[in-house]
Structure 1
Amino acid sequence: MTTAAEPVMLPHPQRIGSVTGRIISRLQKDYLNDVPYAVAALARLRRGAGKEFPEVPDLWGLADTRGLYEQPDGSWPLNEDELTYAEDAVHVSLTLWALHQQSRGNGMHQPDRPKAPTGFGAAVRRLMPRDEIDESIRKRFVRAGTAPNLSALAQRLRDIVLLLRREDIPLDYALLAEHLYRWQQPGGRDIVRRAWGRSFHAYRGPDTADTADTADTADTADTTDKDAS
Structure 2
Amino acid sequence: MTTAPAPPTVRSRVADLAASQIVPWQQGYLSDSSAAVAALARLRRGAGRNAAEMPDLWGLVDTGPLHENTPDLRPLSEAELARAEDALYTALTLWALHQQSRGTPMHRTHSREQPRGLGAAVRRLMPAGGIDEPVLKRLVRAGTASDSLVLAQRLREIVVLLRRSDIPLDYGLLAGQLYAWQWPGGPESVRRSWGRSFHSGRPTRNTGENSTAATSHPDLDTDTKDAS
- TM bucket, shorter chain: 0.7 to 0.9
CA distance in 2, matches of 1:7, 1:64: 26
2:226 paired residue number: none
CA distance in 2, matches of 1:112, 1:13: 16
CA deviations on 1:45-100 (whole Å, 9 max, x unpaired) are 00000001111010111133221111121642311111111000000000000000
2:17 paired residue number: 19
1:179 paired residue number: 177
1:121 paired residue number: 119
1:136-215 matched pairs, under 5 angstroms: 136-206=134-204
1:83 paired residue number: 81
1:98 paired residue number: 96
* Structure 1: runs of 5 or more not aligned: 208-229
CA distance in 2, matches of 1:46, 1:105: 17
TM-score of the two chains, using structure 1 as the length reference = 0.86
Q: Which amino acid aligns with 1:92?
A: T
CA distance in 1, matches of 2:166, 2:93: 17
Give aligned pairs, total.
205
Q: Is the Cα–Cα contact under 8 Å of residues 115 and 200 in structure 2 kept in the other structure?
A: no
Instruction: Work out which of the residue numbers 25, 28, 31 in structure 2 matches 1:30.
Output: 28
* Structure 2: runs of 5 or more not aligned: 206-228
Q: Is the Cα–Cα contact under 8 Å of residues 68 and 75 in structure 2 kept in the other structure?
A: no
CA distance in 2, matches of 1:53, 1:46: 12
Q: Which amino acid aligns with 1:149?
A: D
CA distance in 2, matches of 1:180, 1:100: 17
Flag as ranges the 4+ runs of structure 1 deviating above 3 A. Answer: 5-8
Q: Is the Cα–Cα contact under 8 Å of residues 144 and 157 in structure 1 kept in the other structure?
A: yes
Q: Which amino acid aligns with 2:64?
A: R
1:217 paired residue number: none
CA distance in 1, matches of 2:63, 2:21: 8
Percent of aligned pairs with the same amino acid:
56
CA distance in 1, matches of 2:59, 2:200: 38
TM-score of the two chains, using structure 2 as the length reference = 0.86
Instruction: Work out which of the residue numbers 49, 52, 57 in structure 2 matches 1:51.
Output: 49
CA distance in 2, matches of 1:107, 1:206: 17
CA distance in 2, matches of 1:197, 1:61: 35
Q: Is the Cα–Cα contact under 8 Å of residues 116 and 169 in structure 2 kept in the other structure?
A: yes
Q: Is the Cα–Cα contact under 8 Å of residues 123 and 171 in structure 1 kept in the other structure?
A: yes
CA distance in 2, matches of 1:15, 1:206: 30
CA deviations on 1:162-202 (whole Å, 9 max, x unpaired) are 00000000000000000000000111111100000000012
